[in-house]
Amino acid sequence: MSTFPSFNGSECEEDDVEYNKMCDKHKHLLETLPKGGGWMEQHLYNYNGFWLNEMFLKANLLVHTYFKPEPTDVVLASFMKSGTTWLKALMFSTLNRDRYSFSNHYLHNNSPQSTIPFLEAVSYPMTDFTTFSAPRLFATHFARTLLPACMSSCKFVYVCRDPKDVLVSKWHFISKLRSKDLPPLSFDEAFELFCLGVSEFGPFWEHVLSYWRANLESPDKILFLRYEELKKQPEVVVRKLADFMGKPITMEEEKNGVVGEIINLCSFENLSNLEVNKKGVDKFGKLLEVEKKGFFRKGEIGDWKNYLSEEMKDRIDGITEQKFKGSGLICFSE
């Protein structure tokens, strides 16, 4: 079951002046921001250049009002359907490799979504994250420029993926979450919206560029990864993640095959076949529930070939080339 009830703003607490002010701002934004066609619900709202739905817009205001970043925080950032679930599992198991044995691991009984909280899923009153031990791990689909400036003290792992595969993955995923009050979203409609940039957390290209620019400004603060490189050389990425999170793989661990253990534990084959990921829902905040199995579909590079015509491929590749031109970002050529 997937539900996505619409946010009605009725949860404002009378006694919290700051929260009430924030709710007023949310209401005002919903009335005034430019609207575009939603994938899950009828509308998305263009907020500072990026498309958010009601719930994510509210979460963004909550993060700006209440989230207190720590310089030791590591934030996994991604455009949705770029490999977030995989990275959540990899980052969590790499960082906590002394805490769990690989034969009886937390991930055997808990979904990857439960390992790292999404900033988009925060609600009021906000969870007390000060009780989390450092380095705290968070995840977000917000573009870098939509996050509070004070988060520049945090470290970011950004994972991106060929937009053609992101589109196909997202269309499958969102089709199941789409409001039952709306007609199904055809692949052609989704393609058109995606190319126009009208897509939750999008435009895709500006999202990637927001983190790429931050990476150029502070390369030591952002680890920029690609889903495709993770598929081809997972061991290289796991070592990079371990270094980046301040817990490099030791010689002893190398000898004991720890990198291979992490990769096997977090592989698509292993995670998608665990009972815990086949049944039930992951809850995100108060309003969103997603079937756990929805986070695992094919886990391949190039599935877009089964959905996009030559003309569609050329259109997306052309947009990517034009948007990334001069940025130093390598296009996705597969």
Residues marked active site are found at 141
Name the one range near ligand A3P by CB under 6 A: 43-51, 79-87, 119-127, 253-261.
79-87
Half-sphere exposure of 150 (CA within 13 A, CB side): 8
Q: How far is the C-alpha of 267 from the C-alpha of 262, rounded, in Å? A: 8
Q: Which of 266, 290, 308, 319 binds ligand A3P (CB under 6 A)?
A: 266
Shorter beta-carbon distance to ligand A3P: residue 100 or 268: 268
303 near ligand A3P, rule: CB under 6 A:
yes
Closest CA to 68 of 4, 26, 127: 127
User: Strand 281-284 vs strand 222-226: parallel, antiparallel, or unpaired?
Assistant: unpaired
Closest to 80 in 3D by CA, of 321, 309, 287, 290: 290
Is 297 among the residues that bind ligand A3P (CB under 6 A)? yes
| Using rule CB under 6 A, residue 296 touches ligand A3P | yes
Among 81, 144, 178, 226, which residue interacts with ligand A3P (rule: CB under 6 A)?
81
Shortest spacing between CB 266 and ligand A3P, in angstroms: 5
Pick from 52, 76, 80, 107 the residue near ligand A3P by CB under 6 A.
Answer: 80
Instruction: State which residue, 67 or 118, has the beta carbon closest to ligand A3P.
Output: 118
The two tokens of residue 136 are 């705290």
Shortest spacing between CB 21 and ligand A3P, in angstroms: 33
Query: Locate tokens 């002046």: which residue?
Result: 17
179 or 272: CB nearest ligand A3P? 272
Buried b (16+ CB within 10 A) or exposed e, 141-163: bbbbbbbeeebeebbbbbbbbbb
Structure tokens at 284: 């995100």
Task: Decide if residue 83 touches ligand A3P (CB under 6 A).
Answer: yes
| Minimum CB–partner distance for residue 277 and ligand A3P (Å) | 9
Give just the sign of the alpha carbon dihedral 20, 80, 264, 284: positive
Residue 211 in the binding site for ligand A3P (CB under 6 A): no
Q: Does 165 help bind ligand A3P (rule: CB under 6 A)? A: yes
The H-or-E segment that residue 46 falls in is strand 43-47
- Binding residues for ligand A3P (CB under 6 A): 78, 80-86, 165, 169, 172, 266-268, 271, 295-299, 303
